[in-house]
Amino acid sequence: MSLKVAKRGNVPPFIVMDVMRAADERAATGAAVLHLEVGQPGTPAPRPVIEAAKKALETDNIGYTLASGRPSLRRRIAQHYQDHYGVDIDPARIMVTSGSSGGFLLSFLACFDAGDRVALAAPGYPAYRNILTAIGVEPVLLLTEAEHRFQPTLELIDQVTARDGKPLDGLIVASPSNPTGTMLGRAELSRLVEGCRARGIRVISDEIYHGVTYGEPAVSALELGDDAVIVNSFSKYFSMTGWRLGWLVLSEELIRPVECLGQNLFISPPTVSQYAGEAAFDCGAEADAYVAVYARSRALLLKELPGAGFEKLAPADGAFYIYADVRQRSNDSEAFCRRMLAETGVASTPGTDFDPERGNGYVRFSFAGAEAEIAEAVRRLRAWS
């Protein structure tokens, strides 16, 4: 007799991880691979971060911390909001998490019940909809276009509620976004947040790419009120992906529910990473130097990709991605990416990871890697075109 397997595991794969595996398999044969598929900085964690971790290992027994994180780290995060956004928040509202992924799970569980409906932009980060599906919450896709800058709008929200005859319980917004890199300005984000507040819709603001911008700085939803849940991470701006450390900023009514969930699901965030995270906030100059590298790679791709046959590109205001329209070349982005890897060694992510309805006509290039790697990828793509 076969044993039961729960249905909640029947979610789509995170396709970029499958692409990484295919790229690694190619590399294992000795063939060159240029990694433009994964959103992982090619830069190391800043040196003070590494030194803080070493010191912690030498002087601390590295036991559990509070489920909400070390008080000193929470105070340092609160200071970050004062320094960079001019917002004064109580450290008690901060929950340190096991990466932003842990933050998404905790916030979704605390804010939404099974059967609730949560809107999110398509294209968008696939783990949003897959986590929601796994916990019994219905993801509602807002089919954004270039005219919306691939960002949610109140008009799209009202259209889906009218179409379905059901209200929405939540909205996930990301600025800068993955995969398009587009951002919402203060006026646009304010209108969206205020409109959701008036409609009784809880906003979850993904701000993990804050700091990685190429013009105006990103606006935090925390600047516009205290009822949105803020999700952030040390992974991107501070180049600390493998350290698995992030945080939430919560409204008062969510503090205890999220703490209880964290106690039971995770016990506490990684202790060594928390020591390192405190040091990260003193590394702004080093992190900004990393962003300058991304900016040069971004400029190169925006200039050269059209000549390689990728003519329609999202503007990439922030983050480190170019979302490219390939509908003139293929209507099967997964096959297109496999062929591109096989024939050029350039790994990219098919748009189906980010938009299950229309992503067959798009691919995402990441420019988080080394400049030389990005330049070589451009050369190969131009020759391939």
Render 60-79 in DSSP notation, one character per residue: -------TT--HHHHHHHHH
Residues 201 and 326 in one domain: no
Final residue before a domain boundary, out of 282, 301, 327: 282
- % of the chain residues with pLDDT over 90: 88
pLDDT in tens, 151-206: 999 999 999 999 999 999 999 999 999 999 999 999 999 999 999 999 999 999 99
- Is the pLDDT assigned to residue 290 strictly greater than 90? yes
Q: How far apart are CA 341 and CA 57, in angstroms?
A: 41
The two three-digit tokens of residue 5, written as one number:
């397997």
Q: Where are the beta strands (DSSP E) in 50-151?
A: 94-97, 117-122, 138-143
Residue owning tokens 């789509």: 12
Domain membership flag for residue 53: no
Number of domains in the chain: 2
For every residue of 100-146, DSSP letters joined together read: HHHHHHHHHHHH--TT-EEEEEES--HHHHHHHHHTTPEEEEEE--G
- Is the pLDDT assigned to residue 207 strictly greater than 90? yes
Domain that holds residue 373: 7-44+285-384
- Tell me the three state secondary structure of residue 365: strand
Single-letter amino acid code for the residue at 188: E
- Is the pLDDT assigned to residue 104 strictly greater than 90? yes
Domain membership flag for residue 217: yes
Residues 208 and 135 in one domain: yes
ω into 179 cis (within 30 of 0): yes
- Is the pLDDT assigned to residue 9 strictly greater than 90? no
Taking each helix axis as running N to C, give the angle between helix 71-85 and helix 271-280, from 0 to 180 degrees, rounded to the nearest 10.
30
- Is the pLDDT assigned to residue 13 strictly greater than 80? no
Query: What is the structure's pLDDT at 182?
Result: 97
Residues 123 and 35 in one domain: no
- Work out the mean pLDDT of the chain and round it to a whole number: 95
pLDDT in tens, 29-59: 888 889 998 888 989 999 999 999 999 999 8
* The length of the chain, given as a count of residues: 385
Q: What are phi and psi of 324, to 5 degrees?
A: -115, 135
Q: What are phi and psi of 3, to 5 degrees?
A: -95, 155
Say which residue, 303 or 18, is predicted with more confidence: 303
Domain membership flag for residue 56: no
What distances in angstroms separate CA 139 from CA 44, 97, 154, 365, 373, one per listed residue? Answer: 35, 23, 17, 25, 36
Q: Identify which of 119, 76, 37, 18 has the alpha carbon closest to the alpha carbon of residue 281.
A: 76
Dihedral class, residue 139 (left if φ above 0, else alpha if ψ from -120 to 50, else beta): beta
Query: What is the structure's pLDDT at 21?
Result: 84
CATH number at residue 262: 3.40.640.10
Residues 93 and 142 in one domain: yes
Final residue before a domain boundary, out of 266, 282, 298: 282
Tell me which H or E stretch contains 299. Answer: helix 284-304
Residues 79 and 193 in one domain: yes
Final residue before a domain boundary, out of 256, 282, 308: 282
Q: How far apart are CA 129 and CA 16, in angstroms?
A: 15
24 band by pLDDT with thresholds 50, 70 and 90:
confident
7 band by pLDDT with thresholds 50, 70 and 90:
confident
Mean pLDDT for the stretch of residues 116-138: 97
Radius of gyration of the chain (CA): 21
Residues 278 and 296 in one domain: no
Query: What is the structure's pLDDT at 14?
Result: 75
- Is the pLDDT assigned to residue 255 strictly greater than 90? yes
pTM given for the model: 0.94
What distances in angstroms separate CA 263 from CA 64, 97, 323, 345, one per listed residue? Answer: 11, 11, 38, 44
Query: What is the structure's pLDDT at 236?
Result: 97
Residues 217 and 303 in one domain: no
Q: What is the DSSP letter of 213?
A: B
Q: How far apart are CA 316 and CA 302, in angstroms?
A: 9
pLDDT in tens, 185-195: 999 999 999 99
Domain membership flag for residue 255: yes
Residues 211 and 259 in one domain: yes
Query: What is the structure's pLDDT at 16?
Result: 75
- Is the pLDDT assigned to residue 358 strictly greater than 90? yes
Say which residue, 25 or 139, is predicted with more confidence: 139
Q: Identify which of 158, 164, 99 has the alpha carbon closest to the alpha carbon of residue 138.
A: 164
The answer to whether the CB of 122 falls within 8 A of the CB of 358 is yes
Single-letter amino acid code for the residue at 318: G
